[in-house]
Structure 1
Amino acid sequence: MNKKAIIIGSGIAGIAASIRLSLKGYRVEVYEANAYPGGKLSEITLQGYRFDAGPSLFTLPEQVDDLFRLAGKQPREHFDYIRLPVACHYFWEDGKQIKAYADIDRFGKEVEAKLGEPAENIRKALEKSAYIYDRLSPLFMQRSLHKFGTWTNKDAMKSYLKMGKLGIFSTMNRANEKQFDHPKMVQLFNRYATYNGSNPYETPATLNIIPHLEFNIGAFFPKKGMHDITMSLYRLAESLGVSFHMNARVEEILVQEKRAVGVIVNGTKHFADLLVNNMDMVNAYKTILKKEKQPRLLLNQTKSSSALIFYWGIKKVFPELELHNILFSEDYKTEFEHIFTHKTISEDPTVYINITSVHKADDAPKDSMNWFTMINVPNNQGQDWDAVIREARKNIVNKINRILKTDIESLIEVEEILEPRTIESKTSSANGALYGNSSNNRFAAFMRHANFSSDIKNLYFCGGSVHPGGGIPLCLLSAKIVSEMIE
């Protein structure tokens, strides 16, 4: 085969698609607007501190391993990781703390001892999560929802009879209130809605599929940091002959007689037999596909939440902190009302602190830590972000000081900020939304853009803004779905 494929964007899905298409015999060219590959899955270095810039949770590592195996390589020779003994350390204002141990029995005992929540409730909740995963993963994660065969295969048929048990008709919060006795456990499991930028009080209970990934399968950490997911796959792609062009922003997708035939980059036309768009779907239609028919219904869908991240070099080691840490708000429902209804930030936001130096010591100088300090925020709707960020930073610092009994401001040695405006400018994510369209209704899974264009032949879509959704595993699966559609 001597066919050529062009991929627009080198996010993790674009890199994965380039590998899969190269192994199918295509000559693959990838055009990337930035000077580096990876999109959100990149890194920042500041005066001896290294930070994974974007996604910080690694689940379903076999999705990465599979790409090496497809290329005939041993994954561990090129990319290695560990399973975390503690998935996350949770803190509350009243002094309560819970360590979410990877050992489910130990996690259950921890919750029972600290909160009085029966360990049996943890076990049942995770069994329910596994049940949802086993029935919905083959349908919603592994296949296109926009092909007739998806809805007539045996996996789909089995799911139709179990829709009530799968959480379609309830919200995550209502389901968790039934599963747990203690409100802190409801809050802990409601948190999983944020993994795709959703509101647990609105999103369907099917998202209770996520704890299965983190506990039953496991949460992992690449030994060289999250950025190594990008770089190891980037090197694999290059070894297969994929050509990457950096600082090469695509200006237009060329369409002739309803067929994608190439792209314009820096005023020059480049032709190919097929195109795969890894750019955010909304911004792609607004820019490089602006001459084509617009999927208005999809473009006008409510967007997911965004993030405000402070990358802090902290000149002290806090031994009580893990890789993943959560400092919960006192009123979770109000926090989400601020984000999704009022498009603002609560005065008491939940604070997430990711510290890779816990497992990768060279990410920070001696006796220091690299804090990726994040809160969930609304996507960009024209707010006065400079004022919002100043107020949020003050509230975050105060919360950390209260819960960790410290003066964190005096320990901050370096700082860089990422917020909705810069998320959009750096990653082309519409409105700075991290996960494309919101999942705050039961039909959201069906309202994601297909992995192909129904109007333009030979044009395909992958990445977090299209089916099956955002996050590293789903982005990698979107590339798999695309490659399986292509002869």
Structure 2
Amino acid sequence: MQKKAIIIGSGIAGLAASIRLAHKGYQVEVFEANSYPGGKLSEISIKGYRFDCGPSLFTLPEEVDELFHLSDKTPEDYFRYQQLDVNCHYFWEDGTTVQAYADRNDFSQEVLEKLGEEPSHINAALDRSAFIYKHLAPLFMHRSLHKWSTWINKDAIKAYLKLGKLGLFHTMNQANKKQFSQDKLVQLFNRYATYNGSDPYQTPATLNIIPHLEFNRGAYFPSKGMHAITQSLYALATELGVNFSFGTPVEKIVVEKQHAKGVLAAGRFHASDLVVNNMDMVNAYKTILKDQAQPKKLLQQPKSSSALIFYWGIKKEFPELDLHNILFSENYKQEFDHIFNKQIICEDPTVYINITSVYKKDDAPDGCMNWFTMINVPNNQGQDWDLLKAKARISIINKINRTLKTDIEPLIEAEEILDPVSIETKTSSANGALYGNSSNNRYAAFLRHANYSSSIKGLYFCGGSVHPGGGIPLCLLSAKIMSNMIPKA
């Protein structure tokens, strides 16, 4: 009789896990509380505008391609993408702009002309980023940190010999101030801390690994938008025989004699040989695992930042804007102090504007643009979000108007809002945190839940709230690490 696997949640990691376990010969059933797959990686359409809801940056596309190759499929039959020539367009209120060209030489020249930073500094910084990636990715991205085998192999030994150069003993900001002479470039590279919801003034310089992915490996755009990642993997999973039960929240993981036996959902018991939890780890222990031993130290860890997003249909085109745009705050340190210490929103936030209609014209009507307008905000600790949203909307509009020399309010003809409370409601992310536990200390990588339960046999974990972390590439890798622990059916 064919063995069965149940997966709780169809976020990007849950989809990848379903494909990998189907490939291993399991009968796979996915229970999803929402009426659609993808979790944060979903889409909305309003008044003729289409928006990708969640993750907007696409790196390491080979991790998506691998799922198709694993299934003897041709990725291009399901999913196409292109590499960006400009990774991001940066703006400051004094009129300074920098285009972060994908080509390192072009970017170095741009920074020299616009900021007066020597090209050698850029090259050295990106070489250091590649160095960190080379020594830490085999450990922290591709293996379980909770298995002894990870720490006694040749990759681990190489990393031990380079500990002093891997950024563990300085903050990201301290490292970037040593690397660059210009404050604006320090700010630009400090921004990479936000890629996992961290504070560059607290998080270790190890996170300077992130620029390597954009500049040395490349940033990409799916031809049909980010939601196409979800759609293509969902299509592949269904072709492999994975069964999806939407609108069906799991009520409990059934454990007998410290062995996961299945789940309670839709009022009945569903038996399985193993259970994979793709739900946020904190909320899972509070609800569907509330009767089991609680990993209190992990549950009590500070959470990452969240987001406030205004999805705006703009009835005008701005030729100076690209796919990814950043309008920087004047006082970056103060902004992060507000987010992580005061747990409020500062009056001059850094504004990120993602505009997929630059590449995918049918995402907006002719002559218009779809603005995914986001600021980093604290996770939900019971703040008055109605008040914070109203104030932030004014601050964001004022920031855009000052920086782009425009009057944006009359151009907004469609609007939807996503805040930490609705993020938690829609995606079951604890406190609306985007990336699970915070990475604001040097031990953060060790303070994520393992990809398996050490106390319940047959229970596994994947997704952004467990090892190795949040974001599309790491979620896909969490599914890979997890599935590699499971024998073929």
| TM superposition score category, shorter chain reference | over 0.9
Partner of 1:222: 222
Distance of 1:77 and 1:54 partners within structure 2: 24
Deviation at 1:165, TM superposition (A): 0.2
Distance of 2:69 and 2:13 partners within structure 1: 17
Which aligned runs of 4 or more in structure 1 are off by greater than 3 angstroms? none
Describe the SS at the equivalent of 2:59.
coil
Amino acid at match of 1:273: D
Partner of 2:32: 32
Distance of 2:108 and 2:160 partners within structure 1: 32
* TM-score (norm. length: structure 1): 1.00
Partner of 2:429: 429
Deviations 1:197-217 (A, max 9, x none): 000000000000000000100
Deviations 1:8-47 (A, max 9, x none): 0000000000000000000000000000000000001001
Amino acid at match of 1:361: K
Partner of 1:420: 420
Distance of 1:60 and 1:202 partners within structure 2: 26
Distance of 1:79 and 1:220 partners within structure 2: 12
Amino acid at match of 2:77: E
Describe the SS at the equivalent of 2:421.
helix
Amino acid at match of 2:432: G
Distance of 1:78 and 1:351 partners within structure 2: 33
Distance of 1:45 and 1:120 partners within structure 2: 45
Deviation at 1:428, TM superposition (A): 0.1
Describe the SS at the equivalent of 2:164.
coil
Partner of 1:209: 209
Partner of 1:455: 455
Distance of 1:32 and 1:241 partners within structure 2: 16
Amino acid at match of 1:399: K
Deviations 1:158-195 (A, max 9, x none): 10111110001111000000000000000000000000
Partner of 2:122: 122
Distance of 1:242 and 1:154 partners within structure 2: 37
Distance of 2:84 and 2:446 partners within structure 1: 33
The number of aligned residues is: 487
Partner of 1:342: 342
Partner of 1:282: 282
Deviation at 1:119, TM superposition (A): 1.0
RMSD of Structure 2 on Structure 1 (CA): 0.5
Partner of 2:258: 258
Describe the SS at the equivalent of 1:325.
strand
Amino acid at match of 1:108: S
Describe the SS at the equivalent of 1:56.
coil
Distance of 2:412 and 2:32 partners within structure 1: 34
Distance of 2:276 and 2:233 partners within structure 1: 17
Deviation at 1:74, TM superposition (A): 1.2
Matches within 5 A, 1:95-174: 95-174=95-174
Partner of 1:482: 482
Distance of 2:163 and 2:428 partners within structure 1: 36
Partner of 1:242: 242
Distance of 1:48 and 1:347 partners within structure 2: 31
Describe the SS at the equivalent of 2:15.
helix
Distance of 2:251 and 2:116 partners within structure 1: 58
Distance of 1:157 and 1:229 partners within structure 2: 36
Deviations 1:209-238 (A, max 9, x none): 000000100000000000000000000000
Partner of 1:17: 17
Partner of 1:231: 231
Partner of 1:79: 79
Distance of 1:178 and 1:214 partners within structure 2: 21
Distance of 1:220 and 1:166 partners within structure 2: 27
Distance of 1:336 and 1:286 partners within structure 2: 29
Distance of 2:267 and 2:160 partners within structure 1: 50
Amino acid at match of 1:290: K
Partner of 2:303: 303
Partner of 1:332: 332
Describe the SS at the equivalent of 1:435.
coil
Describe the SS at the equivalent of 2:163.
coil
* TM-score (norm. length: structure 2): 0.99
Task: Note if 1:354 corresponds to 2:354.
Answer: yes
Amino acid at match of 1:68: F
Amino acid at match of 1:255: V
Partner of 1:320: 320
Amino acid at match of 1:416: E
Distance of 2:279 and 2:295 partners within structure 1: 16
Deviation at 1:129, TM superposition (A): 0.3
Distance of 1:163 and 1:52 partners within structure 2: 39
Distance of 1:311 and 1:136 partners within structure 2: 36
Describe the SS at the equivalent of 2:434.
coil
Amino acid at match of 2:300: N
Deviation at 1:251, TM superposition (A): 0.4
Distance of 2:432 and 2:308 partners within structure 1: 10
Describe the SS at the equivalent of 1:414.
strand
Task: Note if 1:294 corresponds to 2:294.
Answer: yes
Amino acid at match of 1:425: T
Describe the SS at the equivalent of 1:164.
helix
Distance of 1:168 and 1:159 partners within structure 2: 12
Partner of 1:403: 403
Describe the SS at the equivalent of 1:248.
coil
Deviations 1:313-369 (A, max 9, x none): 000000010000000000000000000000001110000000000000000000000
Deviation at 1:49, TM superposition (A): 0.3
Deviation at 1:76, TM superposition (A): 1.2
Distance of 1:322 and 1:120 partners within structure 2: 27
Distance of 2:101 and 2:392 partners within structure 1: 30
Distance of 1:239 and 1:133 partners within structure 2: 35
Describe the SS at the equivalent of 1:348.
coil
Amino acid at match of 1:4: K
Deviation at 1:411, TM superposition (A): 0.1
Partner of 2:394: 394
Deviation at 1:263, TM superposition (A): 0.4
Distance of 1:417 and 1:190 partners within structure 2: 27
Distance of 1:225 and 1:338 partners within structure 2: 33
Amino acid at match of 1:185: L
Deviation at 1:475, TM superposition (A): 0.1
Distance of 1:416 and 1:163 partners within structure 2: 46
Deviation at 1:374, TM superposition (A): 0.1
- For structure 2, the residue ranges without an aligned partner over 5 or more in a row are none
